[in-house]
Copies of this chain bind each other. A is one copy, B any other.
Amino acid sequence: MSRRLRRLVILAEGEFRFHAAKTALGVIRYGPDPVLAVIDSTRAGRNASDLLGPAFDVPVVATLGEVLPLGPTALLIGIAPTGGRLPAAFRSIILQAIGAGLDVLSGLHTFVSDDPEFAAAAREAGVELIDYRKPPERMETSMGRLHRPGSRVILTVGTDCAIGKMSVALELRNAARHAGLSSSFVATGQTGIMIEGWGVAIDRVVADFVQGTCEWMCEEGEARGDWVFVEGQGSLDHPAYSSVTLGLIHGFTPHAMVLVHKPGLAEHDFDHLPERSFPLRPLSEMIRVHEEMAGLVAPSRVVAVALNTSLLDEEAARREIDRTAAETGLPCGDPFRFGADPLLAELRARVDALPWVSRTEVTA
Residues of B within 8 A of A241 (CB): 141, 208, 211
Highest count of chain B CB atoms <10 Å: which of A251, A278, A281, A297: A297
Contact A143 B272 (CB under 8 A): yes
Interface residues of A in 246-301 (CB under 8 A from B): 246-247, 250-251, 270-273, 276, 278, 281, 289, 292-293, 296-297
- A212 close to chain B: CB less than 8 A: yes
The stretch among A8-16, A50-58, A197-205 that forms the contact with chain B is A197-205
- A240 close to chain B: CB less than 8 A: yes
The listed residue (B84, B206, B271, B273) touching A203 by CB distance below 8 A is B206
Give the distance to chain B from A266, nearest Cβ to Cβ, in Å: 16
Contact B244 A250 (CB under 8 A): no
Given contacts A239-B250, A239-B297, A293-B293, contact A276 B144 (CB under 8 A): yes
Give the distance to chain B from A287, nearest Cβ to Cβ, in Å: 13
Contact A208 B204 (CB under 8 A): yes
Interface residues of A in 145-176 (CB under 8 A from B): 145-146
- A304 close to chain B: CB less than 8 A: no
Given contacts A83-B140, A83-B141, A276-B146, contact A242 B206 (CB under 8 A): no
A211-B239, A211-B243, A242-B297 given. 15 additional CB < 8 A pairs?
A141-B271, A143-B273, A144-B239, A144-B276, A204-B208, A207-B244, A211-B240, A212-B240, A237-B297, A239-B297, A243-B244, A243-B247, A243-B250, A243-B251, A246-B246
